[in-house]
Chain A
Amino acid sequence: MGPSPAPHDSRTRDRRDGDRASETAPRHLTAPPGRRSEALEALLVDLGSQIQKGSARAVAEAPRWQATGIGPLDRLLGGGFPIGRLSEICGPAEEAPRPALAPSAGRTAVAQALVAEALSKGVLVAWIDLADAFDPDSALETIRARGDADTHLDRLLWVRARDEDEALRSCERVMRTEGFELVVFDLFRPGDGPVAKDVTWLRLARLSAATRTTLVALSDGPSTGARAELVLEMRPRRVLWSEPPYLLESIETEAVLRRHRSRPTGEKIALRAALNGGAASRTSEAC
């Protein structure tokens, strides 16, 4: 057993800490009770401009949301994807090694719902397609499912990048163009590893904030690290088929809030991504 500290030692330490605290504490706290109001006023005068700046910034940077149009999901996200921030929609995080063929988890369905909702508000949207996986038919059906006109698709800029460098440079170029309020960066390529380094995501996140563009990364697994304001993880639950003869009807997924600056993480909801129509109506076609 070691020697216990002497009582006078601890008192000395407390007193020293107290002195140090009084040196660093604000004046309005350390001033005598009778003069605290004067000290507080002096402090306000000293910090006045900074306080105003801070409040103005807080008002200017108040987050707004780009809704997906899916009620439960928007409630989970606190309104939608934050405007002027980097967000991510990704697949399950815990699987390692990750299979090349990712399970169907509804990532693209959520991203296309977000795009359709934004297009319905008249904004221009860009889809940076590193995976070259964008399906115009599918996007149009999502738009039609909302009851919107086909011409909404004309406001979607589709960039089919051939490699990571093209995709990143295209993404930055589009974000620097005033008017594109939503940019989806699709880097979900079956069988490929992470695309961008952390510093790249940092740059994109800053650019997103500077240009007030909603940047949504669509990836197989979490890839944006701590740079994303919001990370939505989509997990597959089950695939629903009709009674025999089997016909694909929908997939049930789980949307988990993995990261959010202002909401508790770990919350989850169940989603069902369904094809329009169902088993009975599906017919073969020939032309």
Chain B
Amino acid sequence: MRVGCLLVPDLPLQAALRAEPELRGRPRGITSGPGNRAEVVAVAESAAKQAVRQGQTLPQARAVCPEIEVRVASPVLERTAREALLDVALSLAPRAEAAPRGSGIFASEGVVFVDASGTTALHGDESSFASVFHARAERAGIPGFVAIASTRGVSRLAARHLSLAAMHRRLEATGPESPTTRILPREREVAFLEPLPIDLLDPDDRTAEALTRFGVRRVRELLRLPRRDLAARIGPQLLELVARARGEEEEPPIPEPKTTTLEEGQDLEAAIVSLEPLTFVLRGLVSRLTERLALRGLGCTELRLGLELENGARQSRRVGVATPSQDEQVLLRLLRLTVERAPPMAPIESVTLLCEALPLRREQLDLFLPRGPSPSDLDQTLAELASLCGEDRVGAPEIVDTHRPDAFGLKPFRKPKRPNAVQGSKRARPARQTRSEAAHPPRTAPPRRGPRLSMRALRPAVRAQVHLVNGRPAHLRCRLGQGEIVKAAGPWRTTGHWWSESAHFAVDHYDIELGDGTVLRLAFDWKTKRWQIDGLYD
């Protein structure tokens, strides 16, 4: 197996620069926390040239570089930068993994491995593959060093070696430009490893101390020692170290990740109060998210916006996207409308954006049906309508499976993918009937010389006073008017949910005609003992 390794030596710094690319090139440092006691954990090249080093306190760093700009290390930014590294790797090959922290990886490093076997058909040779890998990482805002070797350990060491060489060259400002990629053929791996210091193999503390006591400082010296005796003296962990030094470490194959949930987030330096700066932050998050989606050929189907507020509360908003989309403007607009619809109740301290993604698919147009709106246009329209009228007031009508007279449903409106509505294609009528259909079952096919009589609902129902004569409605009075009832049909009793005190309903319905030709649906609610008008035939 051939393994490609992308190593980013100063991930906290690169993660911060990825979020604020306009600060690239300026002296900048990342500290472990707020306050003067915090240590510098990552330093930009321009600050390093002015003798700012990792481990210095903030006052020490400011003493040597007064213009240094400092940000506190953000776990969210680092986590998302690691995920973005994995996305870069997955854009090249289906099998890739992010190296877990602590497994030979320094705390400030970001490392991702990719299975580079069989990629020559796409990229020509391993050198081209490594160049593309490096270029894509740089384009994603996380530049690093790429090495390809037979195992994860050797490729990681080779990449780290490249990064150290580059750092020395930058600090000394001498010699030619150091390379950013390296290919290690299997037969040259031992020769590469021999001159390296033992520390690069990342031995545990006890082993490192014992080897230092023996005067073993380089891999070459370690390999000369008798392996069995060393294992007896120091412990079995040394055998693992020797195998790593020989490039013979046993490793499981690189898995093929199936997750399609992407996350972006940002901790804010100062709490956000108004929507305008929040939109600015969201723009950055969505921009980074769409870049990652483009790398993996995915489209966003759902966004979940998480807001951490100053009062300690957490708020979440869900934004559905009708069709997988990579369009930054569309996603941003949907998010903005969602926040506008229900603005947070307190200043915002942190923003996270979770994206559920699916592979992009081209829309299949129908030859015989109108094209309809594009998914992004439809999404924007629906979001604006929901923002304007309320989310529960926009959608496609839905027949609710109940006999409750005032029941109606509204489901999210989606553009049908393959409408089965081609003229002439008829579907069998389902068994379930609507309420009115149950009351008026069709006897024959209706004539097409006139429309079907429709009902207009009155929401809420209009309270009415009804005068009865011989138990029949004879006169109606309500806020909309009054009149004599010239004809009345009914009652038709509808009851349901008798097992529930709160949901129980029992209604008598009448069709009535007033003197002026108005035909109404009159209802008597047995629960409240009240008359009401809940519909108008029109």
Interface residues of A (CB under 8 A from B): 68-73, 99-113, 119-124, 131-142, 144-145, 147-162, 166, 169-170, 173-174, 176-181, 188, 190-191, 236, 238-239, 241, 245-248, 250-251, 271-278, 281-287
Q: Which of B185-236 contact A (CB under 8 A)?
A: none
Compute how far the CA of A156 lies from the CA of B495 in the bound complex, rounded to whole angstroms: 30
A96 to B435, CA, bound (A): 36
Instruction: For the complex, give the distance between the alpha carbons of A239 and B209 in Å.
Output: 102
- Is B427 in contact with A136, judged by CB distance below 8 angstroms? no
Mark interface residues in B496-517 (1 if CB within 8 Å of A CB, else 0).
1000000000000001011011
8 Å CB contact of A275 from B397, B403, B409, B452: B452
Which residue in A68, A108, A169, A283 is a CB contact (below 8 Å) of B456? A108
Given known contacts A135-B535, A142-B451, what 17 new A-B pairs fall within 8 Å (CB)? A99-B481, A99-B516, A100-B481, A101-B514, A109-B453, A109-B454, A123-B370, A132-B459, A138-B454, A140-B434, A150-B430, A169-B388, A177-B373, A178-B373, A241-B513, A275-B452, A278-B440
Please report the number of residue pairs spanning A and B whose Cβ atoms sit closer than 8 angstroms: 305
Q: Which of A134, A157, A236, A250 is close to B453, meaning CB atoms less than 8 Å apart?
A: A250
Does A158 lie within 8 Å of B395, measured CB to CB? yes
Within 8 A of A (CB), among B462-521: 479-481, 483, 487-489, 491-496, 511, 513-514, 516-520
**Measured between alpha carbons, how far is A113 from B538 in the docked complex, in Å?**
12
Bound CA–CA A101/B459 (angstroms): 14
Given A99-B516, A136-B408, A141-B436, decide whether A124 and B372 contact each other with a Cβ distance below 8 A. Answer: yes
**B450 to A173, Cβ gap below 8 A?**
no
Pick from B8-16, B351-359, B416-424 the stretch touching chain A.
Answer: B416-424
CB distance from B411 to the nearest CB of A (A): 8
CB of B536 to closest CB in A, whole Å: 7
Contact with A along B356-393 (1 / 0, CB 8 A): 00000000001011111110011011001100111001
- Other-chain contact of A133, B381, B443, B458, B514 (Cβ < 8 Å): B458
Is B394 an interface residue when CB atoms closer than 8 A count as contact? yes
Chain A residue, CB-CB nearest to B427: A149
B374 touches A276 (CB 8 A): no
Cross-interface CB contact of B421 among A109, A112, A149, cutoff 8 Å? A149
Q: Are B429 and A144 interface neighbours, CB within 8 A?
A: yes
Q: Is the CB of B377 within 8 A of A177?
A: yes
Q: Which residues of A are found within 8 Å of B410, using beta-carbon distances?
A: 158, 160
Q: 20 A–B contact pairs at CB < 8 A? A: A70-B450, A104-B536, A104-B538, A108-B455, A109-B538, A136-B408, A138-B454, A138-B455, A141-B452, A148-B427, A154-B414, A157-B396, A169-B388, A173-B388, A179-B370, A179-B378, A241-B489, A248-B519, A282-B492, A287-B403
B512-536 interface code vs A (CB 8 A; 1 in, 0 out):
0110111110000000000000011
Question: For the complex, is B449 an interface residue (Cβ under 8 Å from A)?
Answer: yes
- Chain B interfacial positions (CB closer than 8 Å to A): 366, 368-374, 377-378, 380-381, 384-385, 388-390, 393-399, 403, 408-410, 413-416, 419-423, 425-427, 429-430, 434-443, 445-459, 479-481, 483, 487-489, 491-496, 511, 513-514, 516-520, 535-538
* A-chain residues with CB within 8 Å of residue B368 when the two chains form the complex: 122
Per a CB cutoff under 8 Å, which of A137, A151, A274, A278 touches B427?
A151
Flag if B454 contacts A157 (CB, 8 Å): no
Are B389 and A281 touching (Cβ within 8 A)? no
Task: Indicate which residue in B398, B435, B443, B516 contacts A277 across the interface (CB closer than 8 Å).
Answer: B443
Q: Are A170 and B451 also in contact (CB < 8 A) when A122-B369, A158-B397, A190-B458 are? A: no
The chain A residue sitting closest to B378, CB to CB, is A177
User: Which residues of A lie under 8 Å from residue B423 when comparing CB positions?
Assistant: 120-122
In the complex, which residues of chain A have a beta carbon less than 8 angstroms from the beta carbon of B381?
A: 173-174, 176-177
From A110, A155, A177, contact of B419 by CB (8 A): A155
Q: A99-B481, A135-B535 are in contact. Are A156 and B436 (CB under 8 A)?
A: no
Q: Which residue of B lies closest to A114 (CB)?
A: B451
User: Would A106 and B538 count as touching, CB distance under 8 A?
Assistant: yes
Docked CA distance A275–B381 (Å): 35
Q: Which of B393, B440, B519 contacts A159 (CB 8 A)?
A: B393
Minimum CB–CB distance for B47 against chain A, Å: 51
- Those 8 A-B pairs whose CB atoms lie nearest each other, nearest first: A179-B373, A122-B369, A136-B397, A149-B427, A109-B451, A179-B372, A103-B517, A100-B480
Nearest CB of chain B from residue A131's CB, rounded to whole Å = 7
Enumerate chain A residues within 8 angstroms of B491, measured Cβ to Cβ: 284
Which residues in B have their C-beta under 8 angstroms from that of A73?
A: 451
Q: Out of B414, B450, B495, which one reaches A286, CB within 8 Å?
A: B495
Contacts of B369 in A (CB 8 A): 121-123
Closest approach, in angstroms, between the C-beta of A213 and any C-beta of chain B?
12
CA gap between A68 and B394 in the complex, in Å: 25
Chain B hits for A99, CB < 8 A: 481, 516, 518
With beta carbons under 8 angstroms apart, the residue of B397, B439, B449, B488 that contacts A72 is B449
Which single residue of chain A is at the shortest CB-CB distance from B488? A246
Contact status of A106 and B389, CB under 8 A, knowing A135-B457, A156-B397, A285-B492: no
Contact A178 B538 (CB under 8 A): no
Known A-B contacts A173-B384, A179-B373; the reply to A271 vs B451 at CB < 8 A is yes
Closest to B520 in A: A101
Residue of B nearest to A107 (CB): B538
Interchain CB contact under 8 A, B456 and A131: yes
Closest Cβ–Cβ distance, residue B156 to chain A (whole Å):
52
A71-B448, A178-B373 known; A156+B537 contact, CB < 8 A: no
**Smallest Cβ distance from B422 to chain A, in angstroms?**
7
- A150 smallest CB distance to B (angstroms): 6
Task: List A contacts of B459 (CB < 8 A).
Answer: 132-133
